[in-house]
Chains A and B, each alone.
Chain A
Amino acid sequence: MSKVDRSGKIPNNVDLAGDKRLQRALEHWLPLYMEWWNDMGPAGFQTNDIYLRTAVSIESGGWANFDYVKMPEYRWGIFLAPTDSTNTIGFGDHYGKPTWTEIPGEYRGNLRRIIVTQADTEPASVEQQRFLGTIAPSLYDMRNLFQVNVEEGRHLWAMVYLLFRFFGKDGRDEAEELLCRRSGDEDKPRILNAFNEPCDHWLSFFCFTHFTDRDGKFQLASLAESGFEPLARTCDFMLTEEAHHLFVGESGLDRIIKRSAELTRETDGDPMKAGGIPLDMIQRSINYWFTYSLDLFGGEISSNAANFFAEGLKGRFKEKSRYEDHIMKEGVKIIPQVVNNVVVEEQIPYRNTINEVLRDEYIDDVQRALRKWNRTLEKMELETRITLPSRRFHRHQGIYSNHAFDPEGNLITEEELKKNSDRWLLNDEDNDYLVSIMHQVIEPGKMANWIAPPARGINGQPLDFEYVRL
């Protein structure tokens, strides 16, 4: 019997015990993964007991088992959601044909690329967040950080499973590469830019989990539609965990906004006097992370996206329930473009705009959270409102990246952008200040002064529960 499953330590529903090939691949990869986790995982907390949720099966409730566990002993597992009863491809040129349970040869390259790109984001975020535990505003938040981290680790496992199971030697090489790249490293950066941006403090962490992880939700959701069934089922299961990450981000920002509003009132408009975070700084942080996250959806006009859709590899968000036409060979979408220094609306074949279709859904979702935060501000009787910048502002990918826009989406000159950039985007001074006010708070139930307490604890536990045993 293989070493990797000798103790049944890896929860799975992919018959790991009976799959020699998978065991062999994991045997080689597991020590490398542990080495990576110990080097790049949360710094300083590897021996502490943490109140974590572990997925042990796909049955209802099976994916959420709470107990104290040391992170390196976390039972990372491999799960696919139950098969869809229809088992037919839901979109594109193969619409209505049976889904693939093995990789179709002609799409092997594209599928590998999709999976590797998604997989690369998982360890990247763990690396970005590595030192945040040392400045956590409460044990509750520290635990949430670690929960997010171990689950990103499990998501890496999920993707690596696909690489091992379906891509042979190439897949094993890619799985190893995933552990070699490093977020923000000049020589071996992570594939996508947002995952190389520094995440030095908790305002960035909450923005990251809110905006950047939300991109993940939409990517996973559109891959959960894939005609390649194992990918669809893997992503489907990952989405159940992703929801918690988004909750951490959304509620974390809400708590900061609430506390900032309180301090704004208490200090007559300058929360910095009380070690709080000014609302305009929060706005700058949102501007920064929202726009970096928009880049993750890819080019507005993309033949790759059109191919992935046509080939049945990557659908739209909730393809089955939200759309009627699943083929979309005809049809256009209006995309505003810069032509001769003016923004003009142009008609683009629909399939080539699939990235933009997904970005639309994402922006709608983000707007919803924004309304919630603004209700918080409203309740506090403040006039300031949080807004979302235009999707054209501060872009590094796609058709707007070579032009300067203001947050309202108006074309401006490079000079104007440069002049206002500190006003619009999280800047060095902000980051220095934010790091300076963040100190570790370890008394159960207590919160740092710059953030409000959450509404309730984890898994029905009280707020002063010892979520991390230090």
Chain B
Amino acid sequence: MEPISFQVDPSRYRHWDLEKEGQVMRIHMNVDPDFPLRDGYELKLNSYDLGVDIELADIVRRLRFEHPEITSLVISSNHDQVFCSGANIHMLGISSHSWKVNFCKFTNETRCELEDWAAQADVRTICAVTGPCAGGGYELALACDEIWLIDDGNSAVSLPETPLLGVLPGTGGLTRLVDKRKVRRDRADVFCTLAEGFKGKRALKWGLVDEIAPRSIFEEKLQQYLDQIQQQRPGRQDRQGIVLGPIEVADVDGVRSSSTLSVAYQPEKRTAEFTIEVPAVSGAPSTPAEIHAQGDSFWPLRLARELEDALLDLRVNRKGIGLCIMKTKGNLDDILGWDRILIEHQGDWLVDQILHLTTHVIQRMERTSCSFFALIEQESCFGGSLLELALACDRIYMLDEEGVQIQRSAMNEGLLPMTTDITRSECRLLGEKELLESNQGNYSRLDASTAEQMGLVTEALDEFDYADMVPVAIDERVSLSPDSLTGMEANLRFAGPENLESKVFGRLSAWQNWIFIRPNATGPHGALTLYGRPERPDFAWDRV
């Protein structure tokens, strides 16, 4: 199969129409049925596949960087019959398990990023539902701050997956339904088993939407509201966005490289070695104006984008890779210097968004079904933001040798939080409060044994032990059951409190993935398999 590229730009969108008026961005879903990402299905009735969502993710990403002046985002549809009929069922029906899982994960990450960006950039997001809005379509609506529904006796919101498809609704919609919108659980229960969903008044009464209006005044009412939102957010009309250019990637002899990092694939060993090379900070921009002038070539932004692109490529195009080895190359002074530029200029919208993006990318890494080991060796520069990357790994091996050091900074104390809103240090040291406190504010250079004492690395190993143990640990890791590891890692990585986002992914990974392999969904007589076919599903009735 052709590898999937996650890179796209507005000139190549096939499924979305963009319309910017003043400080309001409107995006209209307008899926071209004849351009599915893979052959074998048509994207009828504004249903979507990964290709549609890659464009949406690109839109959200560009809103973050290219349109800092906007005050509201309206998501609507240009389809005359429906708003969105959700994920394309025929696509799901013919897709492999891993494709379905990656699809659901990616679409959820897009929705989470939409939510994160809206909160971080203080942009009000409104889903204007004009027509039936089902399944993943309602999930998209749920990811907005507000849902407006046309009250025309036809437009409805629904999560029909349980009655129609025998799978979990809305790629995670249930969490957003009861946790985010706080719809009562018994009402949610009724809603989720009713294929046609709820229209107008009942949808409003049960809290499934925030506003209803008849067609004749819908647009006018919405426009008034958008004007009001804009007035409440003065002073951003002069902001100038930057342009996100394409990411240049070379793939030569199994090494996929871009300007800030390379990934060396060894498929026979089922490993990939990520190496991030940190450039000298001398000559780096020192004022917000200089950072803006550098735009998408500013190194921290480049790194975040390229690392994300590499992770997405790993997930979808590199089946069989079980372990990623994370390495860095450069000077601690340089990485801490780059970090300092961001830390000092917080409050500038661009700098803030770079920090948010970096946060998002490291979280994305933690949600990747792959083992991660960080190796801290000679020439490594795991400081600040890069140390955070190491802390996101399942294990950290550090060579105990003269000159091998790490260093904490403010980046490790809340600027790059986990999905669960706590820091990685807090997550690591949940049961070691004193150790955590002694870590806080300690920004000195740390050698291996100190780092180990501080709970920052898994093992500090001298030259001989390192050479003995690390290769064995790698071999052992890739020999274990990949399913078991995926489950084990997902359970160990997110210790501590839960929040909406962690629940979305936790529930999704656990339950949807389970349902996806159950015969009642995907067996020869399963509901998902038979959807759209003349036969009816035949369920095994035992509750497992």
Contact = CB atoms under 8 A, between A and B. Distances in A.
Contacts of B536: 93, 307, 310-311
A1 to B, nearest CB: 34
Contacts of A349: 533-534
Interface string B527-539: 0000111111000
A80 interface: no
Given A109-B163, A109-B194, A187 B216 contact: yes
A187 B532 contact: no
A336 B216 CA distance: 38
A351 B534 contact: yes
A306 B533 contact: yes
B195 A188 contact: no
B215 interface: yes
A309 B531 CA distance: 14
Nearest to B33: A402
Majority SS at the chain A contact face: helix
A177 B195 contact: no
B153 A180 contact: yes
A186 interface: yes
A242 to B, nearest CB: 25
Contact of A191 (B154, B216, B531, B535): B154
Contacts of A351: 534
B196 interface: yes
Contacts of B152: 187-189
Interface string B359-373: 000000000000000
B153 A306 contact: no
Given A109-B195, A109-B196, A187-B151, A306 B534 contact: yes
Contact of A189 (B153, B163, B196): B153
Max count, chain B CB within 10 A of own CB: residue among A109, A180, A309: A109
A74 interface: no
B496 interface: no
A188 B199 CA distance: 12
A95 interface: no
Max count, chain B CB within 10 A of own CB: residue among A187, A349, A351: A187
Interface in A312-346: 328-329
A87 interface: no
Given A109-B163, A109-B195, A191 B533 contact: no
Interface string B340-366: 000000000000000000000000000
A113 B163 CA distance: 14
Given A187-B151, A187-B152, A191-B153, A329 B534 contact: yes
A425 B351 CA distance: 60
A181 interface: yes
Contacts of A181: 153
B214 interface: yes
A352 interface: yes
B30 to A, nearest CB: 13
A187 B531 CA distance: 33
A187 B215 contact: yes
Majority SS at the chain B contact face: loop
Interface residues of B, number: 17
Interface in B493-544: 531-536
Contacts of A307: 536
Contacts of B151: 187-188
A303 interface: yes
Interface string A101-117: 00000000110010000
A166 interface: no
Given A109-B194, A188-B152, A191-B153, A303 B216 contact: no
Contacts of B214: 186-188
A294 to B, nearest CB: 16
A352 B535 contact: no
Contact of A352 (B153, B163, B196, B533): B533
Contacts of A306: 532-534
Given A186-B216, A187-B214, A187-B216, A177 B153 contact: yes
Contact of B534 (A187, A189, A350): A350
Contact of B154 (A189, A311, A328): A189
A191 B151 CA distance: 13
A158 B533 CA distance: 33
A260 B275 CA distance: 86
B153 A188 contact: yes
Nearest to B193: A109
B535 A329 contact: yes
Interface string A156-188: 000000000000000000000100110000111
Nearest to A354: B534
Contacts of B154: 189, 191
Interface string A277-311: 00000000000000000000000000100110111
Contacts of B532: 303, 306, 352
A351 B153 CA distance: 29
A180 B163 CA distance: 28
A135 B51 CA distance: 56
A110 B215 CA distance: 27
A309 B163 CA distance: 17
Nearest to A339: B34
A186 B216 CA distance: 7
Contacts of A329: 534-535
Nearest to A92: B536
Nearest to B538: A93
Contact of B533 (A177, A187, A303, A328): A303
A329 B533 CA distance: 10
Interface string B163-192: 100000000000000000000000000000
A191 B153 CA distance: 8
Given A180-B153, A189-B152, A303 B215 contact: no
Contacts of B531: 303
Interface string B55-83: 00000000000000000000000000000
A177 B535 CA distance: 33
Max count, chain A CB within 10 A of own CB: residue among B151, B153, B533, B534: B534
13 contacts: A109-B194, A180-B153, A181-B153, A187-B151, A188-B151, A303-B532, A303-B533, A307-B536, A309-B534, A311-B536, A350-B534, A351-B534, A352-B533
Query: Which 9 residue pairs spanning A and B have beta carbons closest together?
Result: A351-B534, A187-B214, A303-B532, A349-B534, A306-B534, A188-B153, A310-B536, A181-B153, A109-B195
Given A113-B196, A186-B214, 14 more contacts: A93-B536, A109-B194, A109-B196, A110-B195, A177-B153, A186-B215, A187-B152, A188-B153, A189-B154, A303-B533, A306-B533, A309-B534, A349-B534, A352-B534
Interface of A: 93, 109-110, 113, 177, 180-181, 186-189, 191, 303, 306-307, 309-311, 328-329, 349-352
